[in-house]
Amino acid sequence: MAIFKRFADDRSGNFGMMTAIMMVPLLFAGGSVIDVSTAYTQRTNMQGIADAAALAGGAVYDGTNQAAAIAKAQAFLKGYMDKLPSGATYTVTMTGQNVDVAIQGKSQNSFMQVAGLSSIDVGVTSQSVAPMMPKTVKFTPTKIQGWFWKKVTIRVVRPNTTNEVVVGTVTYQPTTHDNGGQGTWVVDPSGTVDLGKYSKLVLQMDIKEDGCNIGEKATITKDNKVTCSKDTSSQYSKFNNVLRTDNPDTSYYLFVGGKQLPKGVTSPLDDILVCDKTSTHAWEDGGDFARQDFFYTATTTCAPDGQFVRLSK
């Protein structure tokens, strides 16, 4: 019995034994952290690939080519299979204008295998949306008045370019100063404007205060009639004011649905041209904001535009 008592009283021996016993769970715990960290790193990499694939599919979607959008995302994933865990699988589906990507795989364990856990399941999902953007616009003037000559234009910037292209105009020519200024207008083209592909869309109003177009001089007769004659002098060679919806210093000259756009900010395009609806617009040409001068309706149809694709989850 004395030998067992001495064994129990031998602290150095117990410490060594306890250390040896504790090393097993400590090593397992440390190895588990490494395996979990590896799985997390792989999941992060998978998420990046899923996001990029969803964006690639959404970028080509135009509302009519769902199969092409899915194929584009699948091709992207196929090209990155060597970056995914061995045996990983993926699916690509579409609902409306959303491209959904899901990737499933397994992260192989190095340490937790001793506990019978050979791998950790890792899975990610991603969704992109090609937002609805104006595709066609039809301007219908309802009332234009005032002494100033003015023109409203629809301008777009084509993809991979910087120059603006005018795709539609409404031009007002005053003919008399009676009744606060009355005149005629021309819409060009007269029907619906196909906006085509664009990276930016702007409405602009040019104003020339004498009452005639660039390169012309206005003369007011005794009976208040406005006549225009050619004049190439510098004072008639430029507009007095240019108002644009993308300029926070001038966009508030436009009223949409009877409400003035806020000053000092650039209002979103979908606040100006409402998809699949007819909006009422009224521009003030620089005088009294209580009396707008350029009234028209804008009938807009929209379609998904992949150029503006973004992740939605």
Q: Which residues of 289-308 are buried (b: 16+ CB within 10 A; e: fewer)?
A: eeebbbbbebbbbbbbbbbe
Identify which of 262, 255, 251, 267 has the alpha carbon closest to the alpha carbon of residue 298. Answer: 255
Which token pair is 193? 């404007």
| More confident call, 229 vs 17 | 229
Between 31-45, 50-64, 78-92, 164-178, the lowest mean confidence (pLDDT) is in 31-45
Quick check: is 53 in a domain? yes
Residue type, 299: T
Say what angle helices 11-59 and 66-79 make with each other, to 10 degrees. 140
Rounded CA separation 239/206 (Å): 6
Rounded CA separation 85/77 (Å): 13
Q: Are residues 147 and 23 in the same domain?
A: no
pLDDT at 138 exceeding the cut of 60: yes
Q: Are residues 214 and 244 in the same domain?
A: yes
CA angle 15, 21, 22 (to 5 degrees): 85
Distances (CA, A) of 10 to 5, 17, 20, 142, 162: 9, 11, 16, 104, 85
Query: Range of 45's domain?
Result: 2-130
* CB count in 10 Å sphere of residue 115: 11
pLDDT digits (tens, 9 = 90+) for 212-263: 999 999 999 999 999 999 999 999 999 999 999 999 999 999 999 999 999 9
Q: What is the dihedral of CA 80, 85, 91, 95, to 10 degrees?
A: -80
Q: Are residues 145 and 122 in the same domain?
A: no
pLDDT value at position 17? 54
Q: Which residues of 134-150 are buried (b: 16+ CB within 10 A; e: fewer)?
A: bbebbbebeebbbbbbb
* Average pLDDT value for residue range 199-213: 96
**End-to-end alpha-carbon separation of the chain, Å?**
71
Q: Are residues 124 and 251 in the same domain?
A: no
| More confident call, 14 vs 90 | 90
DSSP 225: B
Quick check: is 291 in a domain? yes
Q: Are residues 45 and 151 in the same domain?
A: no
pLDDT value at position 36? 79
pLDDT at 113 exceeding the cut of 80: no
pLDDT value at position 125? 97
pLDDT value at position 220? 96
Q: Are residues 47 and 107 in the same domain?
A: yes
Q: Are residues 150 and 117 in the same domain?
A: no
Identify which of 72, 21, 52, 184 has the alpha carbon closest to the alpha carbon of residue 127. Answer: 52
Q: Are residues 303 and 162 in the same domain?
A: yes
Quick check: is 100 in a domain? yes
Q: Are residues 273 and 151 in the same domain?
A: yes
Which of the four pLDDT bands, split at 50, 70 and 90, describes residue 27? very low
Quick check: is 215 in a domain? yes
Q: Are residues 188 and 51 in the same domain?
A: no
% residues pLDDT > 70 (the chain): 88
pLDDT at 94 exceeding the cut of 80: yes
Quick check: is 313 in a domain? no
State whether the Cα torsion 241-242-243-247 is positive or negative.
negative
Q: Are residues 150 and 271 in the same domain?
A: yes
Number of separate domains in the chain? 2
> 130, 160, 187: which is the final residue of a domain?
130
Quick check: is 157 in a domain? yes
> 68, 95, 130: which is the final residue of a domain?
130
Place of tokens 């400590």: 26
| More confident call, 272 vs 35 | 272
* Average pLDDT value for residue range 10-27: 52
Quick check: is 312 in a domain? no
pLDDT at 91 exceeding the cut of 80: yes
Q: Are residues 24 and 111 in the same domain?
A: yes
> 111, 130, 149: which is the final residue of a domain?
130
**Do the beta carbons of residue 214 and residue 242 sit within 8 Å?**
no
pLDDT value at position 10? 56
